[in-house]
Amino acid sequence: MIGQGRRTGRGSRAVAALLGGALLAGCSAGGTASAPTASTAPASSASPATSTPDTPSPTPMPTDTPAPCTAEATALSLRDQVGQLVMIGVTADLPASQRAAITTHHLGTAIVMGATPGGVSQVAGLTAKLRKLGGETGFLVASDQEGGLVQRLKGDGFGTIPSARTQATWSDATLTARAETWGRAMAKAGVLLDLAPVADVVPADNRGTNEPIARLGRGYGSKPVTVSKKVEAFRAGMERAGVGVAVKHFPGLGAVRGNTDFATKVVDRTTTKGSSLLTPFKDAVAAGAQAVMVSSAYYARIDAARPAMFSPTVIGLLRGWGFEGVVISDDLGAAAALKAVPVADRATRFVAAGGDLALNVDASTAGAMASGLYRAAKDDPELATRVAESAARVLALKASLGQYHCS
């Protein structure tokens, strides 16, 4: 787990206004899914609490000890700092347009998308090319290797990863051992961050209607303690292989009905700040998860006004547990639900809310997101401070995975 970092106070009026306009959901990274469904979760008997867009959660006071890689991040130019915060989707052939986006905008992370028929050797060739493009700040490559319907890396050497539903039937020791095997294949290919495992708890009475997790076999069950154990077993195996994990989709997609990949707006009316549904995420943070992915659903009883990834309240809840690792957004690029949010504003809203790494599976829009964040931070000193803080976290994550060195 990355060390304690410095937190900033509230942003300027420009940032507050930008956050206030974020009123729609995004889409979740990875996964094959069912037809589009505008949806909400089953209503809870309690009345949803409301929150206003300009009232972020209190932030912890700054510490005297700088976070790992703070000096290195501060020494970078603003453009280089911003480049650390946008993850671009790349394909195995790495066309000129993707290479140009990486070099022009100084991007430092990528997620592998599309087919990988050549297996480990093909992906290893791709990651070697990406590392050369990364320069002195290194380059971190990620993928979605949950198993079942969500396994992006395939072909010779990767094998087939069973779904989380199947993994849940194994002992913790077996899951750890098999996750280590899957992780070793990833590490051999140069993919050192797995956007998995899924820590979402699906309540028993929602299993038949939950589209993003239960219907796709992506979850470990309905009991928080069971899900926690399987998430930790998976994480431990990946760690043994030298691969980091990004636990997802905080605060959870188990209590919703619609799939955030497709639905215009998905609302969870059940989860609260003290809900037991958060237990697997809290346990993963305590166990040392390097990253947590934040969902694009709305949580009516935490922050009804904004999707989680644009919510200082939601991200502040995670930070309040002492998590100083990397907060990754759910996909900001290809989601139809984000059409009303200008592409150039999406990464800015996420970072202004407290996030660190803006995931964008659509390579054609990654440059616009990076440029938008750069322009906004250039004009707003407080946002620029936030960018530097997040850049330090991303560099520290790279360092923990051997892709960078912090003094």
Q: DSSP secondary-structure letter at 389?
A: H
Crossing angle for the helix pair 13-20 and 381-400, nearest 10 degrees? 70
- Confidence (pLDDT) at 397: 98
Tell me: pLDDT of 59 over 80: no
- pTM given for the model: 0.84
Question: Is residue 14 predicted with pLDDT exceeding 60?
Answer: no
H-only helix segments in 135-257: 164-167, 172-188, 224-240
Distance in angstroms (rounded) separating the CA atoms of residues 222 and 123: 35
User: What mean pLDDT comes out for the span 315-340?
Assistant: 90
For residue 54, what pLDDT is reported? 38
Query: Reduced to 3 states, what is the DSSP secondary structure of residue 295?
Result: coil
Distances (CA, A) of 287 to 125, 200, 249, 324, 403: 33, 17, 17, 13, 22
Residue 23 has pLDDT above 60, yes or no: no
Query: Do residues 355 and 294 touch, judged by C-beta distance below 8 A?
Result: yes
Q: What is the pLDDT of residue 42?
A: 35
Q: How confident is the model at residue 65 (pLDDT cuts 50, 70, 90)?
A: low
**Amino acid in the structure at residue 351:** V
Tokens of 117: 């028929």
pLDDT at 18 over 70: no
pLDDT exceeds cutoff 80 at 30: no
Task: State mean pLDDT over 232-238.
Answer: 98
If pLDDT is split at 50, 70 and 90, which confidence band does 15 have? very low
User: pLDDT tens for residues 359-383?
Assistant: 999 999 999 999 999 999 999 999 9
pLDDT mean across residues, the chain: 86
Q: Model confidence at 334, in pLDDT bands (50, 70, 90)?
A: confident
For residue 158, what are its two tokens?
A: 């990767």
337 band by pLDDT with thresholds 50, 70 and 90 = low
- Give the whole-number percent of the chain exceeding pLDDT 90: 79
Alpha-carbon separation of residue 335 from 73, 78, 99, 338, 407 (angstroms):
30, 28, 23, 6, 39
> Nearest Cα to 112, choosing from 395, 299, 352, 361?
361
Q: What distance in Å separates the CA atoms of residue 154 and residue 156, rounded to the nearest whole number?
A: 7
Burial environment of residue 260 by CB neighbours within 10 A (0 to 12, 13 to 18, 19 or more): buried
DSSP 114: S
Write the CB contacts of 66 (distance below 8 Å, at least 6 apart in sequence): 5, 6
Lowest average pLDDT, out of 2-16, 174-188, 332-346, 377-391, goes to 2-16
Whether the CB-CB separation of 399 and 68 falls below 8 Å is answered with yes
Q: Is the pLDDT at 27 greater than 50, yes or no?
A: no
Q: What's the one-letter identity of residue 316? A: G
d(CA 171, CA 168): 8
- Asked whether residue 126 carries a pLDDT value surpassing 70, the answer given is yes
402 dihedral zone (left: phi>0; alpha: psi -120 to 50; beta): left
Provide mean pLDDT across the span 64-83: 90
- Average pLDDT in the 264-286 region? 96
Judge whether 221 and 214 are in contact, CB under 8 Å.
no
- Distance (Å, rounded) from C-alpha 319 to C-alpha 309? 13
Domain 13-400 belongs to what topology? TIM Barrel (3.20.20)
Q: Tell me the residue type at 232.
A: E
Q: Mean pLDDT lowest for which of 79-93, 160-174, 258-272, 292-306? A: 258-272
What is the torsional sign of CA 264, 269, 275, 276? Answer: negative
Over the stretch 134-172, which tens digit does the pLDDT of each residue have? 989 999 999 999 999 999 999 999 999 999 999 999 999
Beta-bridged to residue 194, according to DSSP, are: 143, 245
pLDDT-based confidence at residue 336 (cuts at 50, 70, 90): low
Give the chain's end-to-end CA distance (angstroms, integer). 17
Mean pLDDT of the region 59-67: 50
**Three-state DSSP state, 147:** strand
